[in-house]
Structure 1
């Protein structure tokens, strides 16, 4: 296999690249524009492999993508490149429409042209795997069920709307043109190499710097949490064993309120890196204005992936979070330059 991974320098994409190089015989072609959240140091060890190649390309450049598909003789595409921060999508939705929607359209066009040129056997092997989010399903009441692959789409934010649109495009290219596509929708990821603007790394690093730990609203919003290495394993199975035209939900079966997540990070840090004065990191928690249109709850039913692909998460939320905190404590050389360059303390997503 030769797998083209878009967004392979991002958080989930880099986990996929590392997993494929370290645990499979596949060759990896990494295509990444290297926006603010892309970081080649996240895949430094994988990049040393002779099975790895890199192209700094915008996914909206359809001609370049088609040329890479042809030159590299790609057998599978894993499309992860996306703008993904909900607060940023509220302040600047245009970039999300351009990358997530138009970029996916360009990727599909390039893949379709390439696929049509392949031999019959190669066409049968080829897959276009689109990686999406549970946020496309919208707001889930606290007292209702969980998201399945058949849950109707009801996106709430510019980010989730752009991802929902891209999901629909992928399915349309399968049903209209026959392109062998699969879609996966995941819950909130966490783990090593997570960009510091997201909740868990933000809380870890703010705590270590004795800065306030902001919790939106009352902290009652619920998310299902998935360790990124478990997700990478699942994505490999989807792209190699998934049935064209199907979608697969990937979740960690670990629902937590945002406040509970923050408090758990604080409690673990109290043990792993106690504050100089002996106080708890919980004392740094502060409640701030809620995000506009903040969905109450997301929860994933991953039984289809377990049943049909043989996947299930290895890490519990507690074990995965402990490993994540240990990684940030041990890898200041990775996060400090990012933190110093990008962190200004400003709150995003309040312009609605």
Structure 2
């Protein structure tokens, strides 16, 4: 039994990880979350209180972080500002959380000698051409294209520097696009699902040709736990489930799963600097650590996600109107 500190554990992939850990291990989890708009305390409802401690706080609060690190065995760092559109509107919070926040955590890990795992994104690698057969690997050079991906790239480099310069016991994982329960309705898949539930036509950026490599949040969680348990210190592991789909196909599949005509969506103004394609080669994780995804079938994972949003409107409804008003103001 370990005591794990999970930063951002009330956010989308962080809360899924907390659920996964409590279901599959005997570990105790302490969650540190600022509860910005993307964090939701309700995402942790129903979990056993004797194995979960929730701390409302900021990862840039060095005294708080230091106190928490003194009482844990390992830290999994999910906390991040992570929405590309928001980073284009106001980059500053991305610098504060993704750079200064990660620095604050790394300094605490150095002082206390704690195992540290850093969660990152495939967006640090930039994008690939639609007809490029290659995929991102651990050797792919960084080429971020937005304030969000640039600050995540910066946080990755900080982790690598603290490993080399100070001997921090850290690993990094870069994951492809997640989907699943507890994802904020500003994000692509839940936005379209909740639009259909509300009787609103889904919205598709541009022609919808942009490709993302989708992975269910449960599979991301199992991969992170595998790296925490078996990963080699100083190494980076790419997490993916061979789920490449273009946005048009995803919207049409959502409509089909929800009993609507496949063409019942609207094209809207494309996002500025919209990356063309992401694709993950997770060979290293699978061969060296023995990890495999559970949801090898994207359609099955998406159907389960649709069902979750149908059954949990009370969780997502409070944010829905504000999100749609924001996008409407931008013609999206």
Q: Please, what TM-score do these two structures have when normalized by structure 1?
A: 0.90
Matches within 5 A, 1:53-132: 53-70=53-70, 73-115=71-113, 126-132=114-120
Partner of 2:316: 335
Q: What are the ranges of 5 or more consecutive residues in structure 2 without an aligned counterpart? A: none
Give the conservation status (yes or no) of the 8 Å contact 1:87–1:348.
no
Partner of 1:299: 279
Residues 239-295 of structure 1, C-alpha deviation per residue, up to 9 Å, x if partnerless?
11111100000012010000100000000001xxxxxxxxx3434311111111111
Partner of 1:258: 247
| Matches of 2:126 and 2:202, distance apart in 1 | 26
Give the conservation status (yes or no) of the 8 Å contact 1:91–1:348.
no
| Matches of 2:263 and 2:118, distance apart in 1 | 41
Partner of 1:201: 190
Give the conservation status (yes or no) of the 8 Å contact 2:197–2:310.
no
Correspondence 1:32 to 2:33: yes
| Matches of 1:348 and 1:237, distance apart in 2 | 43
Give the conservation status (yes or no) of the 8 Å contact 2:169–2:233.
yes
| Matches of 2:142 and 2:237, distance apart in 1 | 14
| Matches of 2:108 and 2:6, distance apart in 1 | 14
| Matches of 1:289 and 1:337, distance apart in 2 | 26
Correspondence 1:317 to 2:298: yes
Give the conservation status (yes or no) of the 8 Å contact 2:253–2:262.
no
| Matches of 2:175 and 2:253, distance apart in 1 | 22
Distance 1:142 1:240, change over 3 A: same
Residues 144-178 of structure 1, C-alpha deviation per residue, up to 9 Å, x if partnerless?
20000110000001100000000000000000000
| Matches of 1:234 and 1:248, distance apart in 2 | 9
Range with greater deviation from structure 2 (99-108 or 203-212): 203-212
Secondary structure at the residue paired with 1:284? coil
**What is the alpha-carbon root mean square deviation over aligned residues?**
1.4
| Matches of 1:88 and 1:62, distance apart in 2 | 26
Q: What is the number of residues matched between the two proteins?
A: 328
Higher alpha-carbon Rg: 1
Secondary structure at the residue paired with 1:282? coil
Correspondence 1:191 to 2:180: yes
Q: What are the ranges of 5 or more consecutive residues in structure 1 without an aligned counterpart? A: 116-125, 271-279
Partner of 2:170: 181
1:309 Cα deviation (Å)? 1.5
